[in-house]
Amino acid sequence: MLYREAGQFKTSYSADMAMFPIRQDRIALVLLLLVAFIGVPLLASDYFLRAIFVPFLILSLAAIGVNILVGYCGQISLGSGAFMAIGAYSSYKFCTGVHLPLDWIGAQISIPPLPVLPSILLGGLMAALVGILFGIPSLRIKGLYLAVATLAAQFFFDWVFIRVQWFTNYAPSGSVSAPELNFLGWIAHSSIDRYLLCLMFVVVFAFIAKNLVRGSLGRQWMAIRDMDIAAELMGIRPLYAKLTAFAVSSFMVGIAGALWAFVYLGAWEPLAFDINRSFQLLFMVIIGGLGSILGSFLGAAFILVLPILLDQVPHALGIPISVETISHLVFIITGSLICYLLIVEPHGFARLWGIAKEKLRLWPYPY
């Protein structure tokens, strides 16, 4: 690397436990944020903002959520798509007002339409609640069995949002459109506004996630992941650790789902959150790096950019290649990469980045 931590002495525990202990890393992060908040909106074209940066940011947020559950707590989930859907549809309901007649007790729940921001947060909260509910089986079962339990969530909610018309406000086509993105008077219209909106959400939640995983809660998750029985014997409550992981993960995935629907899609159908979305998120986490916040971003970028690259590069080189072939190639490359990474580098791109940094530290005299 171009820099080393030589000469930076830690004189307190809090300095030692800081999120980014090396000064140059902090500078790099600030620069990165400056580029993201100022440089990108100035330089990137409308197409790039709309078709690459916005979905990248939202999927990164979802991948962070999935990574907390799968990477940090070791509980596999194939139902992330369903939790995105729950976030999206409950935000939509809160935005348009909730009227739920409960005839059998002669009462009704009625909530007036809420502004967008609380709706999105409440959507995340609903996803967290359902996440806790579907996390309960994880106390008895794990591994593959848990994968099936989360698949049950996926299929069940696919069906709920298609068949139960209450969620779509009885829209005849089953497709619903997002309300105006009005944040305390600031309306996100243009691609730049939408990009900045997503960026703010992602920055806030990435910091929260980064903080959680290095704190007591994160260490409990990792203990459960590494060996649950041993962790239990050491006094870590599996009930608390697992359910908090499910709750935090589903909350972030739910927020990402709401953003995906409101900001990226605009109008959406339940198919936007089907099982392929769950697999996509899982792949991002595996490829990017299990148990790494940075990896979530790298994985999201890779999975998102790969099809676009495969579409554009042969085009630019003048090689005719059909859309079908591209989709098959995407399948093959993603699949091979997953197998390769699981065999060679189970911690994904994030670990490769770490290795590269280690090598560069000693470069050009590696001895």
Partner 1 sequence: MIAFGQFAEVLIGGLLAGVLYSLVALGFVLIFKASGVFNFAQGAMVLLAGLALVRPLDYLVAHGFPVWAAIVLGLAFAAVVMAASAWLIERFVLGPLVNQDGLTLFMATIGATFIIEGLGQLIFGSDVYPLRLFPVDAWFLFENLFPGGILVNKLDVWGGLIAGVLVAGLAIFFQKTKTGRALRAVADDHAAAQSVGIPISWIWFVVWLVAGLVALVAATVWGTKLGVQFSITFLALKALPVLIIGGFTSVPGAIVGGLIVGAGEKVAEVYLGPLIGGGIEYWFAYVLALIVLIGRPQGLFGERIIERI
DSSP single-letter state for residue 111 = E
Nearer to partner 1, 53 or 283 (CB): 283
Torsion 341-62-212-197 (CA) sign = positive
Distance CA 271, CA 182 (A): 26
In the chain, % helix, strand, coil (3-state, to 5) comes to 75, 5, 20
Q: Can you tell me whether residue 177 is helix, strand or coil? A: strand
Beta carbon nearer to partner 1, 156 or 207:
156
Contact 111, 101 (CB under 8 A): no
- Minimum distance from residue 63 beta carbon to partner 1 (Å): 15
Nearer to partner 1, 100 or 230 (CB): 230
- Smallest separation (angstroms) from partner 1 to the CB of 279: 7
Mapping DSSP to helix (H, G, I), strand (E, B) and coil, where does residue 108 land? strand
Amino acid at the residue 115: P
Output 178 or 290, the one with its CB closest to partner 1: 290
Helical segments of the chain, H only: 13-16, 23-34, 40-43, 46-48, 54-67, 80-96, 116-135, 144-163, 191-214, 216-226, 228-233, 238-259, 275-288, 293-317, 323-344, 348-362
Based on CB atoms, which residue is closest to partner 1, 328 or 357? 328
Nearest-angstrom CA–CA distance, 125 and 106:
27
Q: Which is nearer to partner 1, 93 or 225 (CB)?
A: 225
User: How near is the Cβ of 223 to partner 1 at its closest, in Å?
Assistant: 14
Min separation Cβ 233 and partner 1, Å: 8
Q: How far apart are CA 78 and CA 55, in angstroms?
A: 20
Q: Which CB atom, from 98 or from 333, has the smaller least distance to partner 1? A: 333
Count other C-beta atoms under 10 Å from residue 235's C-beta.
8
Residue labelled with tokens 């704190």: 215
Residues 6+ apart with CB under 8 A from 158: 82, 85, 270, 273, 274, 275
- Quick one: which of 164, 89, 153 has its CA closest to 122? 89
Smallest distance, partner 1 to C-beta of residue 201, A: 28
Q: How far is the CB of 306 from partner 1 (least distance, A)?
A: 12
Q: Give the nearest distance from C-beta 342 to partner 1 in angstroms.
A: 5
Whether 87 and 111 have beta carbons less than 8 Å apart is answered as: no
By C-beta, is 227 or 267 nearer to partner 1? Answer: 227
Least distance from partner 1 to the Cβ atom of residue 207, Å: 28
- Comparing CB distances to partner 1, the nearer of 215 and 335 is 335
Choose between 208 and 309: whose C-beta lies nearer to partner 1.
309
CB of residue 267 to partner 1, shortest distance in Å: 23
Residue corresponding to tokens 């939640």: 205
> Which residues contact residue 223 at a Cβ distance below 8 angstroms, ignoring those fewer than 6 apart?
230, 231, 234, 236, 241
Q: Which of 70, 83, 38, 329 is nearest to 199 (CA)?
A: 38
Q: How far apart are CA 201 and CA 51, in angstroms?
A: 18
**Distance of closest approach, residue 165 Cβ to partner 1, in angstroms:** 9
Footprint of partner 1 (CB under 8 A): 74, 76, 137, 140-141, 143-145, 147-149, 151-152, 155-156, 158-159, 162-164, 227, 229-230, 275, 279, 282, 286, 324-325, 328-332, 334-339, 342-343, 346
